[in-house]
Amino acid sequence: MAEQHSGASGADLHLVGVTKRFGAFTAVDDLTLTVPRGSFFALLGASGCGKTTTLRMIAGLEEPTAGRVMLGDQDVTRLRPYKRPVNTVFQSYALFPHLSIADNVAFGLRRRGVRQYADQVERMLHLVEMDGFGKRRPAQLSGGQQQRVALARALINHPQVLLLDEPLGALDLKLRRQMQVELKRIQTEVGITFVHVTHDQEEAMTMADTVAVMNAGKIEQLGSPVEMYDFPGTAFVANFLGQSNLLAGAVTGRNGDDLLVEAYGGRYSVPAGRARAADGTVWLGVRPEKLHVGTEVPAGQQGVRGIVTDSSYMGVSTQYLVRAEWGDELTVFVPNQGVSAPLAVASEVTVSWRPEHAFLLARPAGETQAPVVDAEEVPA
């Protein structure tokens, strides 16, 4: 199915020292990364982090101030967009309203002078589960259907790299989740490299093989969704990929394979293999779903006492806020299993966790408040 291109056919995508400045503002700062051939790669970050600018440089819509964009051994940094084996799917779909769905999908082939394209169009519409819609116009389709057509229009050109710029942002929650599954299925089936830009953590973690969290023009951390969620590298990542409770502490010593940590007068232990920092000031982190609420600390666990300040029913779980003795609130997710009554606000409780469920991150000396991460995306 794949159409061969000269030069870097089927090659990895490399960004080498890529920098983009707009006047005095550096949008992307000396970025180097490799996107393996045939992978689903997500660039995740908040507004202004540089992810969309990075995508535009790969597409050829922006020229780097410094650095190179490579497809295998081929330097495409200065190539015009239409000369790159790359296609982009935007949030806005950008379908031609006056053309039929079939003609929209065939648009790229017709521009290249391909005359026999009906079978290819039919195959692409089948791939995105839009069989029988070829004669309709975009206005006759739902948002999700239009997004499928936009995807088919890009894929029919057999690009080496497909760029997805917030492609599901305009869809409602249920349809967005459905399309996440569909996009991953399609990527697996066609085997094309997908680079997906999003501010939505769930999108990135649901679909991508590899996620790169961007912050202030740099890669904060890169890895598989499981690795990054279970063992984040920085406080920023810990609170951008999901939520984390971060306690300001300091490493006081070691006991066998465990690091000993003191935080707010309490003493805790964390396996050394779960530590990004092994001495000095640290954040002791625990995910909300790893916490347990009760009247005492179970054997083999460690915890803190506090008072329930808020209770929010969320369907599969209930979110509790528990104010610890030093004043900070901890977030706890408790599965709704129907075996116990909800905790009342103002209840005195103990929040506990198993040491192996915690992690340690480096904390700048003097910093006692965990960084607040705003994942909202504001169109620029």
Confidence (pLDDT) at 237: 96
pLDDT band per the 50, 70, 90 thresholds, residue 375: low
What's the pLDDT tens digit per position in 147-177? 889 999 999 988 999 999 988 877 788 888 8
Helix (H) or strand (E) holding 366, with range, is none
pTM of this prediction?
0.88
Helix (H, G, I), strand (E, B) or coil at 287: coil
Assigned token pair, 319:
């979110």
How confident is residue 27, by pLDDT bands cut at 50, 70 and 90? Answer: very high
Residue 37: which pLDDT band, with cuts at 50, 70 and 90? very high
Task: Give Cα separations from 92 to 33, 60, 145, 170 (angstroms).
Answer: 28, 19, 13, 8
**Helix, coil or strand: residue 19:** strand
Closest CA to 331 of 306, 364, 299, 361: 306
Q: Where are the beta strands (DSSP E) in the chain?
A: 13-22, 25-35, 40-44, 66-71, 74-75, 86-90, 161-165, 193-198, 210-215, 218-223, 245-255, 258-263, 266-271, 281-286, 292-294, 302-313, 317-324, 329-335, 348-353, 358-362
Q: Which of 86, 115, 88, 118 minimizes the C-alpha distance to 102?
A: 118
Asked if residue 285 lies in contact with residue 360, where contact means CB atoms within 8 angstroms, the answer is yes
- The amino acid sitting at 231 is F
H or E stretch covering 47: none
Q: Which residue has the higher pLDDT, 314 or 8?
A: 314
Provide the token pair at 66.
């410094």
Please check the confidence at residue 377 and state whether its pLDDT lies above 50. no
